Structure 1
Amino acid sequence: MPRLHHPITIHYFTRAGITTHDGAMTSLTDLLDGWQPPSVEMTRRVDPWCAAAFADLCDAPRPGLLPPLWHWFVLLDHPAGSNTGADGHPADAPFLPPIPGRRRMFAGGRLRQAAPIPLGAWLASRSAVSDVKVKTGRTGEMAFVTVRTELFVDDALVGVDEQDIVYRSEPPGTPPRTLPAPETGGADPEGEWRVELDTDPVLLFRFSALTYNGHRIHYDQPYATQVEGYPGLVVHGPLLTLLALELPRRHAPDRPVRSFEYRLVRPAFAPSRIVSAGRARGSDVDVVVAAQGAGPSLTAKVGLA
């Protein structure tokens, strides 16, 4: 696997709609000053079982090649049980920023797919933090951390996956947030391409197990509501993302995905029916994913070959 270098870039926002403390550097900026996490390399076999397991979870056709972003089921770390934080996530890991009382949220990302990934192949990856943005808004300070992962099969680059993760600091003793109840009565996403999935605690638990995701907001109702302040169990951001990509997989199986950009704009909660709808415009597909009757949770654009 070639060794590629992508230095970390840190941005400090002071104006342009961002509130600051009289122009001074924020506390999160101070905490992240000098943070240079190491890159991580991993090699895993693309076990066909993983692809079959997710397809069956969604009552979807089983694929012949690994679909875009399904490497999330393959390139999994398994931290020690003693390294588990109060929220169920690892307490320490290479890409977790040094922020006390971390609260984590998946914000979006980008994918460039250069070649297909065969089932049974050995998939190698090199991941590194490529960007950090510190912002202060009406909800407080936030650190936006971008992790870039390069994917290789037989030393050839087959894809680049970038994920944007948002972190807040809520040290012990911080009063629990009370988030508003999800809006209801909205129109479902529209589009000639459409996929629907009913979510409940069992499905969320199965997806957590498939992705080795221990975050308690997805399966621990008292924690999700009383500690994190959500109105219910949270549907995984990666699950919403993969449902967006189910549209071209099911409706245009002969046109490979070359690019994918997505943004998570609000949580979805179980039990609910998740609707993924898309409109094709030439080689582009505009996608919206939302809980039925609620506002959009994810917006995306897919570029097809």
Structure 2
Amino acid sequence: MAHKTLDEYIDGWAPGAITDVDPLRPEAAALLRDILDAGDDSSSDGTLPPLWHWAYFTTWPAQRALGEDGHPTEGHFLPPLPNRRRMWAGGHVTLHGRLRLNTETTRTGTLTDVQVKHGRSGDMILASVRYDYVQAGTTLISELQNHVYRIGDDDAARPAWGPRPVDYPDSDLPWQFRLTTDQIRLFRLSAVTGNSHRIHYDRPYAEDVEHYPGLVVHGPLLALQMAGLARRHDPALELAEIDYRVLSPVFVGEPVLVTGRPSADTSGAELQVLSQPDTVHAKGTATYRRTMTNH
């Protein structure tokens, strides 16, 4: 019997909107602050810094509901693929205001697009989900998350990843932050965000099953570091939007440089995560608005 095409697997798949509620207890923000080494640049004013909402609305399925990769075998926005492999590809976050901690928050998710893409590495599904975060009747965050899904092939040839970086790259960009991850940071971030995907903490699985050269650094961690770099530029500026893409994986222990610079008109910032010799692992753009208390 011939295998189905990706188009056939998703034919008729159209999950409806779904709404969840979270009280935004401060404990998760405190844990994320420590994981990011954010220090005082955090939630001390009772609000969540940009992108820190990813530590909330987490799910914890029963063990029997998890697949071999650690992800749930079924999920509202998970396309119905056999041996499904998932990657966080990027997204766009519009920040209308700050989410307040200890406040009941409603998140509504809506599938906005699903399509089959044909790339050099094979066919994949790109699924986009919009999330709106509401407190006291006001939408404070509107977010689009993009995920890539493939059908895993245990017999597929191991990709040629090439030499891995051992030193930080050089850059003349004005904003720089050096980042090297270890297994402990990845494990703790997986725990706080409810992410049980084994590529982040199970090295034999990551190498032997999904054919990576090591543990994979979370895509959201790269986006959080880019957003943090943009936030530290000027305390009179508040992030209003951030758009980001994960282009190439970073693996545990690899030295990368998070870089940025103001945009040409100074209304935003251009951001990248780089490694030697000239690999761009992630890139993003940020847009600012001046806070009312600063003139």
Label 1:141 to 1:100 Cα distance change in 2 as closer, same or farther (>3 A). Answer: same
Partners of 2:163 and 2:140 lie apart in 1 by 39
Gapped regions of structure 2 (runs ≥ 5): 290-295
Q: What is the match of residue 170 of structure 1? A: 152
In the alignment, is the contact (CA less than 8 A) between 2:168 and 2:255 conserved in 1?
no
Label 1:148 to 1:301 Cα distance change in 2 as closer, same or farther (>3 A). Answer: same
Label 1:96 to 1:238 Cα distance change in 2 as closer, same or farther (>3 A). Answer: same
Label 1:131 to 1:82 Cα distance change in 2 as closer, same or farther (>3 A). Answer: same
Q: Does 1:284 align with 2:265?
A: no
> 1:290 offset after TM fit, Å?
3.0
SS at match of 1:208: helix
How far does the alpha carbon of each residue in 1:175-194 deviate from its partner, in whole angstroms, 9 at most, with x for none?
Answer: 35334135537834542222
> 1:68 offset after TM fit, Å?
1.4
RMSD: 1.8
Partners of 1:222 and 1:169 lie apart in 2 by 20
In the alignment, residue 178 of structure 1 is paired with which amino acid? P
In the alignment, residue 152 of structure 1 is paired with which amino acid? V
TM-score with structure 2 setting the length:
0.89
- Among 22, 29, 39, the residue aligned to 1:51: 29
- Among 136, 139, 148, the residue aligned to 2:121: 139
Q: What is the match of residue 181 of structure 1? A: 162
Partners of 2:109 and 2:192 lie apart in 1 by 21
Label 1:47 to 1:188 Cα distance change in 2 as closer, same or farther (>3 A). Answer: farther
Q: What is the match of residue 67 of structure 1? A: 49
TM-score with structure 1 setting the length:
0.86
SS at match of 1:124: strand
Q: Does 1:231 align with 2:213?
A: yes
Identity %: 37
| Equivalent residue runs for 1:153-232 within 5 Å | 153-170=135-152, 174-175=155-156, 177-184=158-165, 187-232=169-214
- When structure 1 is superposed on structure 2, of 133-142 and 84-93 the one drifting more is 133-142
Label 1:169 to 1:188 Cα distance change in 2 as closer, same or farther (>3 A). Answer: farther
In the alignment, residue 157 of structure 1 is paired with which amino acid? T
Q: What is the match of residue 300 of structure 1? A: 284
In the alignment, is the contact (CA less than 8 A) between 1:46 and 1:123 conserved in 2?
yes
How far does the alpha carbon of each residue in 1:250-295 deviate from its partner, in whole angstroms, 9 at most, with x for none?
Answer: 2323311111111110000111233211101211100001346661
Q: Does 1:268 align with 2:250?
A: yes
SS at match of 2:255: strand
Partners of 1:36 and 1:272 lie apart in 2 by 39
Partners of 1:138 and 1:284 lie apart in 2 by 33
How far does the alpha carbon of each residue in 1:39-65 deviate from its partner, in whole angstroms, 9 at most, with x for none?
Answer: 221111122222221111122123222
In the alignment, residue 55 of structure 1 is paired with which amino acid? R
> 1:38 offset after TM fit, Å?
2.4
In the alignment, is the contact (CA less than 8 A) between 1:189 and 1:296 conserved in 2?
no
Partners of 1:106 and 1:212 lie apart in 2 by 14
Partners of 2:51 and 2:198 lie apart in 1 by 23
Gapped regions of structure 1 (runs ≥ 5): 1-25
Q: Does 1:42 align with 2:24?
A: no
How far does the alpha carbon of each residue in 1:183-209 deviate from its partner, in whole angstroms, 9 at most, with x for none?
Answer: 537834542222233311111111111
How far does the alpha carbon of each residue in 1:76-101 deviate from its partner, in whole angstroms, 9 at most, with x for none?
Answer: 12211111011011111001001111
